[in-house]
Structure formats: structure tokens, C-alpha cells
Structure 1
């Protein structure tokens, strides 16, 4: 057998070698803003640190006058108030200076899409050319390198603790940027141990495909290229993981490639012996089947929707002197119910929010209008009208109950305004921890009340049939009974959709009326159905019942408050103390540039 020629040695070019990470200049940036939307909110502070080869080259920090009031929620979170930014420069002065500071550098941020979107949007508004920086997202990198055994999540606060950052993130821009520098260096050390030494390698880095993943690629063979649910099972046919996709075969194949970077999924694939597909007529049906299977089997590799039985409700009891109680089920006793809440802690926060404004009694015994008992400490403090001692008649106490009922089931605006005014007052007094606790209670209440107010009409409707244009033509049809998906069908293009509607109504599941306001399904299922029904383009074909919500209900307050905290919650969460927030000088400070 002839010998093969010796392999030729090829000298790599400098382009092939790439830019060594120790030669890269990074500008680590963090922003504080008035909210989560770059289109409608403004920047209130920029903090940045320039580093190369582990050495700090300079810092950039300035407050920014946003030109609009800072919401109380944001002031509670960041400690930045209207008074602090009143004399600060505007963004048209600050942004050119920052872009010069960051010139020719790689931008780094924790949850970078948030910060970069604000910077780029403001550059566009001001007519400034966006440099097109290469961006490194430390949150994305941490998700590939830090396991749940090391940190409970990948928030900046958790990573800073894990890596022993010299600066504790506290929702102020420069402090958070300094903490992100330490996190970045720790993560670069980890990828360096995995053979990533250049900027180009860092940009294309992904978790390696394990041997177990490669070995199981055959599990995707023969699966349908259709929408539906897929169930990974072990050797004993026990469900390990349930997922959903518009193309089952294509989605399952990704579990055996480098695009799948979750450590627990690699572990799951190593155990899996088969994949069971369940083809569904519509995407909504697939989502609902997924929820039901997860709730039924509780697969160990699914993290959400596994324990719907842990949901609880807040109940305004039916008795001469009603009170708020946390219960596990809804009964047909004529009481007002709010929820469900995901857990007891959220329900307790909602109850505490009501008690902040409405002087309902908080004792647990059943009181009689005629039998007197001794007063509790709350009555002596003036936080309860003391119906136990005869301090309030049933009629007088009813007025208090009506206020609580309105906050839970009707017009929530007066109640919410009272709590917001109290938060603003606490913030002005720099009592940030108290204001933060009050904020969390308010959010828990409006989320739970809005959930109840939106789900109740759907749960009470004997039948709703709706349709939406399918991407492939024709119509997607769903039949909902008492908040439960009773059936779905696809009416192909060119056929009479009403014939499909009639067939669907006949063949759909028979659903017994539930005890309202609870739906006849898992609350999460009813919420998915509601979101689908509210999607643009959906048409109601048949409605048996009434579909209404209070005009000034809790949903309105929730929709106004949620955007103020959602984006910042994703960046650093609400697990950090707010009591040590420091002010910053209202002018740009740059050193060592």
C-alpha cells in the first residue's frame, strides 16, 4: 500500500489568529433609565469603565436630565430623584462625550440589548452616527459558563457575589459597571480555560456538544415536520421533558447540536431513550397540551408549570365582619376571590397591600355583632375600627369592606394612587427599603387582581368559538368552554370555514361548569387562551356568555406599572437592598482617558 504524502504545514495569517483578548479594549457600560422602553423612556445616568489586559484605563460617569419626571418606582429602585437630575446635562451633551470615550472599543454590558438599544436609539434621535461597536453580553456568557449549583440565577448581583467583585451592584450606573468589569474578567478566565483566547473566538463561542448529545441524534429520525408537542422519555417510558414547536422534527434535532447550550438539557438527552410526538391542529392546542402534560407528569427537566396545585387565592370572607384570607381553592360561598397567585408569599404581599390602605380587621376569629371580645394591638394603634369591641357596627364596617372589594374586584385606581403617594413620600425621606417593600406589595396585588378580573369572564362563558387566519391559509379554529380549551381545528384554504365551526362545536370536549371565578382548567391554560383571543386578527365567531372587565380595574394599573420595572428586573432583579444608594455629582467625570 503506497504511503500517503506528508501533510503540508500552513502558516496561519494574523487574520486567522484573530485579536488576542488581552489586546482588546473593553468599555463596560451600565445605564439607568426612566423605564424599559427606549422609544418612550429616557436615560438618567451613564456609568462606564474602560479596561484592557486587566488594567483600568478610565471611567465615565454622569447623571442625565431626562426632561421628564422620574417615576416613583424607578426612584425607589435606583435612588435617582428629579431633584438630583435637575441640574444635570441633557443627553445631547452627554452622548457625544460617551461615544468619544468608547471609541474603537468593544462594548460590554450585563443584558447588553437593554443598554445598547437605549444608546443606539438616542444616537439616531440626535443624528449621531452609531459606531457599530462589537458587543459582549456578560449575562449571555454567564448562562453558558455558570451552573445553577454555583449561583441561583445569572443576575449581576448573584454573579458579583459568586466572583467576589470588589464593588457591590446597587442600581447606580458606575457601581454596576465596576461590578460588571469583575464579572467579565472572571468569565474571560473561564473561557480561556476552554481554549477561547481571541475576540473572534469569544464572539462565536458556544457550549461544546457532548458525546451523549451526538450519540442520541437518531431520536429525531422519523419525527413529523408538523406543529405539536414532543416528549422525551427514559428507558422506562417516563417523561423527562415536554416541549412544543411549530416543527417537531426540526426542534428536536437542535437538542443534539451546539445551538443547545443548557447544561440540564445535555444531561436530559444523555438519559433519554425515545421521543414521542403529538401533532396538533393549532399552535394554541400544542401550548395547552404541553401545560397539561407537564402538570400531569411533572417531568424533572421542566422547570415551569410543574406545580399548579401550589396556586392560592385571596378571599374576602362572607361573615358579619369580613376579612382577607388565603385559601387553596375556590368555593361557591358567595365570597369575593382574587387570584390565583403563584404562591403564598405573593398572596401575603397582596393582602399586606390592602391592609396598608384599608383598615380591615386582621384577626382570624369569627366575630359576632352582639358578642364583644377584647381589642388587639392593631385596634389600639388605630389601624382597625375594632368591631370586636363594638367600635364599629356591621353597617359601618360594610363601608370598609366596599373599599377593599373595589380594590380587588372593581375600580382599583384610587387604591393604587394612595399607595403610589405613600411610596413617593417614603422615597423622599430616603426610606428606600420601606418604599421597595411597598412597591412589591402593590405589584403583587395588581397582578393578582388583574389576573382574576381577566380570567373570570372567560371562566364564566359556557362557550366561545374564535378563528384566526392561518399562516398557510385557511383558518385556525378554537372552542373554549368555561376557560378550558375544548377543541381546535384547521379549516383549509378554499373550504367553507363555517362547516368546520359546526363540526368543532359538536366534537369538542364537554366541560362542566366550574365554581367561579376559577376556570375549568389550569389558570395558566386559561391565560394562554386569553392571550390568543386578544391577538390582533382573531375573530369571535360565537360567544355564549359575557366578556367584560372593569374599566378602571387592576389590569389598567398593572399595564401602567409593569413596564417601569420589567427591564430593570431582568438586568439586576429586586434582590438587592436599596438603603445605601448614594448620590452622584451632576456632571461628567472622566479620568485617565
Structure 2
């Protein structure tokens, strides 16, 4: 028979803080099942026992036998004392399960060896056609393994733990008795973790003995963090930033640093040194990402690994002289030279230069040549046909200018000619089974194409005096951004249902004033910042509200070459093809936004 009784039993439970869901306010349903076997495949439930508790008080109990579709094996009867005669008049699982799901609704399921009980419950839900509610689950065995030492109990069986914690009910393989004993074990374990600083459901679910008590105590650093998107900065005792990160929910994210969900060793070390945690609330996720980049570049926190040294980016320069040549430089100047990049390292920049030299016969000597006074000696490149010999007057300035134009087109993003020639050479090397050389040439070609595509994408945004764009927010309204010369100069959010155009006007008036960069090839921001903005602008649903200047992308640009080559290059290296980086067509509607 199904029965629900009230049994008032009070446990002592402290009042905890408000980080997450306090344990004192959490409703637990401690459940135990008796079954005809050890697996839902071929076995069925014969008895339910459950106790509902919250804040140390028992709110109710649920107990019933269940009539299985097959006889109960004799050894199960010996173990549980449940006979076939006892269940012959009991309700079927189709009747019992809905009652249990209603009893447990809105609670956290607790069981000793929870995987066993939950697997049978889920199987019963499938069998009876009831959707599984997706209860949060807590396993007292897992907690006990981390909190109970071997010298305290011989094992982590329910009977042993019930004796250790002085349970008022002795477990005897009857469902309700075992559930009552598990309640006492649960509160005994909760008392132990409470002494270690675990006071919320989230902390209890992720509890691990790997987390030190001092690390848990530092969770107070996250108490003032708001539930909003933004940037967080861990600082040491002197105020020096140790780590900068972003989050869509600052409170939820920073709490994870003080639980077992954070497994990175360097982060555990960082938390040990941290003395304060600073939140920076941002209007939009894009603003948070940009602020993170800027803070990392400014402070170079030792526990951040990404974007710490943007000043190490390098560029390939096609010099402005009578007989131009390629060089690798650290910065872009306001001169008549042509630049491509930025590259993440000098090695990748030099690889791109080598790739261009493979098919374009630019001179590679480093001395400055005059149109009137060429040199008197040539290098071996002239002898093998890799250079026209302007250094000895063998090539006129006009003829050399045609070679320079080809190189300039490739650096500007029109890489079709260069890529075609390089792929032809790759095929030749592969046919000759010179695979190491082919792999080297492939890497050089991809370095050139990636840099050309990157430069081609950055250039129009860097040159645009102002771009104002919008995207629908998740909760309605619009996320608004103002970009000036590739730098995020302002961001705002218009409320749902409001006319967004006044907010656009306010954004334009209050956005940061950004002067045009000295060099037209470089943005007025870190290249990574401009790339973040570009990805946002190219994401689905973005509308261009206003554009000063031009934003174009040629059909035969390096982006198209990269989109074609990235999967092929990944296959050549034996890896899975990567995601192609082809820019989306710039067909955004420009103008006013609907509310």
C-alpha cells in the first residue's frame, strides 16, 4: 500500500551564508529502493522508501511495495525479507512512479550509491512513459569516501556509516528503514563539511577533499560579486593583478575557483595567493572580452597565458625604395611601405616571407640599392633564376616594379596567383616523395595566406572612422557598439520595447574619441581587439546602423584562399580539417532599428 506519514524529527543545522543555495533551505528527498536484481536490465523495483527533509526537519515519508512483472528470486527474499505473497496485492510501477515523482518534485534526490537507485528510477520512467524531471542528485557514498577515514569505519557501506554517525534507525534492506538511516548519515556528513566551510548545495555537490580548507575559506572573496556579465581580477596583497578573466555571470563563475570544479594546478596556486577579487560589470559580453584583453596587455598577470605580450606581434614590410624588398619589423610606421600582418611570432612571419620568395623573384639582399648606382656583385639567386639581378643592373627599375606589384598584391590579400604557384610546387614535391620539404612549404604557404587574410580583414575596420552596429539581446532590446578605427570606443544596451535610436545617438555622443592611427594598416587598438570586434560584426543577426568610410572584402581575397586551404592543410598534417575562416558577405542592412 502507498502511504505518506508525517514524522517530525529535528536536526541541528547552522544558518549558512547566501552563496549559492544554502543547505538550510534545500529540500532533500532521501530515497532507497529494493529490487529483484542488480541492474534495470531484467530487474524491477519491489519497494520504495523515501524521506523528505529540509533545514533539519522531516517533512514527510513515502513508502510502498511494488508488484513486479516477474517473481522475486529466492536470494532476494532472503536478503530483503520481501516475498512474492507480500507484493501480490501491491500497486504496479505505473501507479507508484507518478506518486513518487510528485512527492519528490522540486527537491534534491539523495541516495546511498545513488547511481543504482537513479538508474532504476529512470528505467521505470521510460517504461511508464513519464519524462524524467532531471533531479539534482547527491550520493552519500561519494561524500563518505572523501570524509570518513579507514580508522573510523571499516568500509563505506550504509550499515557501517549508520553506526559511525549514531543513526536512530538500523538499516536492514527494507527501503524506508534504509532511507531513514541514510538521512542520519547525510546530516552527519553535512556537519563535517560544514566545519570545512561548505555551506551551500553547489559546494556540497562539487565537494572534494582535494580542495584545501584555506581555499574554501577564501570563497568570501566572491561574496560581493554581482550576477552580471563582466570581468573579474584576482589581486595579491599588494594589489597586483594575478589573473584576469571574463564571465557571463561573475558570481557563478568566480565561486567555482573555490570548489573542486577548478582542477588547474596553477589556478589553485593563484587562489592561494589572492587577497582580493575585483568585479568590472560590463554592458555586453563583447565589452567584457575587450576589457579582458586590455587589462591582460596592461598588467601582464602571471597566471594568464593568453594575450600577455601583444607587443611581440610582428609585421612583414615591403619597403619603399627604388628596389623594394621584404623585411620583418616590430611596428607599422606611417610611411609609403606596404605591411601585412600582424603575425604572432617572428618565425611565422619569416615563413611567410620565404613562401613569397618561392614564387616571386624579389631580391633578398639587405643593402639599399639606388637606381643610378647598382652594386657590382650578385648573389647565387641570380644564377638559379630566383632574382632578376637589380643589384648588378641586370634588371631595370620598371621590370622590377612588375615583380614588386605581384608581391604587393599578395600582401594586400589577392593571393590566388601565389597560392596556385605554391600548390603546384607542393604537388611536384609530393610526386617526388620529398614529403619533409612539402610539409615545410605547406607551413610557409599557410603562414602567408593566414597573415594576408588577417591583414585584409583588419585594414578596412582600422580605416573606418566610425562603425555603429547592433544585435538583438537575449532578453530583448539591442546590444549596441561603436567602433572607431578598429577600437571599441563605446557600448550600450537599449531596453526591450524601447526605441533604440535615442540610445544610438547617446552612444555616439559619449563614445571614446579615437584619433586615426599613424599608419593606415594598423588599427588604433590591439589587433586581437579588432579581431574580436570583427567576429562580433560577422556574427548572425548583426545590423550596421551607421558606417563612416568603407568596409569591403574582395571576392578573390585571401579569406577565400584560406577557407579553401585550411581543411586541405589540416588533412595534409594528418589532423581533422579545421573550421574555414572565410568571411561572411558584408550584406548587412544599414539604418534604423525596430524597437
Same fold (TM over 0.5): yes
- TM-score normalised to the size of structure 1? 0.61
- Residue 554 of structure 1 deviates from its aligned partner by 1.1
Match of 2:233? 231
Which residue, 490, 493, 499 being the options, matches 1:490? 493
Q: Distance in 1 between matches of 2:214 and 2:551?
A: 51
Match of 2:407? 404
- Residue 15 of structure 1 deviates from its aligned partner by 6.8
8 Å contact from structure 2 (residues 411, 452) kept in 1: yes
Q: Distance in 2 between matches of 1:300 and 1:569?
A: 33
- Residue 411 of structure 1 deviates from its aligned partner by 2.1
Quick one: higher RCO (CA 8 Å, sep 6+), 1 or 2?
Answer: 1
8 Å contact from structure 2 (residues 234, 243) kept in 1: yes
What CA deviation, in whole Å up to 9, does each residue of 1:196-228 have, x standing for no partner? Answer: xxxxxxxx9999334443232121112100000
Q: Which runs of 5+ in 1 are unaligned?
A: 1-12, 17-203, 574-593
SS state of the match for residue 334, structure 1?
coil
Which residue, 434, 453, 457 being the options, matches 1:450? 453
- Residue 389 of structure 1 deviates from its aligned partner by 0.6
Q: How does 1:220-369 map to 2 (within 5 A)?
A: 220-369=222-371
- Structure 1 pair 471/570, CA: closer, same or farther in 2 (3 Å)? farther
What CA deviation, in whole Å up to 9, does each residue of 1:54-81 have, x standing for no partner? Answer: xxxxxxxxxxxxxxxxxxxxxxxxxxxx
- Structure 1 pair 567/228, CA: closer, same or farther in 2 (3 Å)? farther
Q: Which runs of 5+ in 2 are unaligned?
A: 1-35, 40-205, 578-595
Is the aligned partner of 1:479 residue 2:482? yes
- Residue 382 of structure 1 deviates from its aligned partner by 1.9
Q: Distance in 2 between matches of 1:448 and 1:207?
A: 48
Q: Distance in 2 between matches of 1:393 and 1:355?
A: 19
Q: Distance in 1 between matches of 2:563 and 2:527?
A: 19
Is the aligned partner of 1:518 residue 2:518? no
Is the aligned partner of 1:549 residue 2:553? yes
SS state of the match for residue 277, structure 2?
strand
Q: Distance in 2 between matches of 1:349 and 1:211?
A: 51
- Residue 572 of structure 1 deviates from its aligned partner by 10
Q: How does 1:112-131 map to 2 (within 5 A)?
A: none
Is the aligned partner of 1:506 residue 2:496? no
- Structure 1 pair 397/243, CA: closer, same or farther in 2 (3 Å)? same
SS state of the match for residue 227, structure 2?
coil
Q: Distance in 2 between matches of 1:400 and 1:508?
A: 44
8 Å contact from structure 2 (residues 207, 259) kept in 1: no
8 Å contact from structure 1 (residues 206, 261) kept in 2: no
Q: Distance in 2 between matches of 1:219 and 1:564?
A: 48
Is the aligned partner of 1:468 residue 2:482? no
Match of 1:588? none
SS state of the match for residue 315, structure 2?
strand
8 Å contact from structure 1 (residues 316, 325) kept in 2: yes
Q: Distance in 1 between matches of 2:414 and 2:548?
A: 26
SS state of the match for residue 236, structure 1?
coil
- Residue 410 of structure 1 deviates from its aligned partner by 4.0
- Structure 1 pair 567/236, CA: closer, same or farther in 2 (3 Å)? farther
CA RMSD of aligned residues (A): 2.4
Q: Distance in 2 between matches of 1:486 and 1:297?
A: 20
- Residue 343 of structure 1 deviates from its aligned partner by 1.2
Q: Distance in 2 between matches of 1:437 and 1:427?
A: 12
SS state of the match for residue 505, structure 1?
helix
Q: Distance in 2 between matches of 1:322 and 1:393?
A: 13
Q: Distance in 1 between matches of 2:256 and 2:461?
A: 37
8 Å contact from structure 1 (residues 426, 434) kept in 2: yes
Which residue, 420, 424, 429 being the options, matches 1:421? 424
Which residue, 541, 544, 562 being the options, matches 1:558? 562
Q: Distance in 2 between matches of 1:448 and 1:291?
A: 21
Q: Distance in 1 between matches of 2:443 and 2:496?
A: 49
Match of 1:97? none
Q: Distance in 2 between matches of 1:477 and 1:302?
A: 29
- Residue 431 of structure 1 deviates from its aligned partner by 1.0
- TM-score normalised to the size of structure 2? 0.61
Moved more, 563-572 or 306-315: 563-572
- Structure 1 pair 565/218, CA: closer, same or farther in 2 (3 Å)? farther
Q: Could you list the runs of 4 or more consecutive aligned residues of structure 1 that deviate by over 4 angstroms after TM superposition?
A: 13-16, 204-207, 565-573
Match of 1:431? 434
Q: Distance in 2 between matches of 1:368 and 1:253?
A: 65
8 Å contact from structure 1 (residues 457, 546) kept in 2: yes
- Structure 1 pair 571/221, CA: closer, same or farther in 2 (3 Å)? farther
Greater Cα radius of gyration, structure 1 or 2: 2
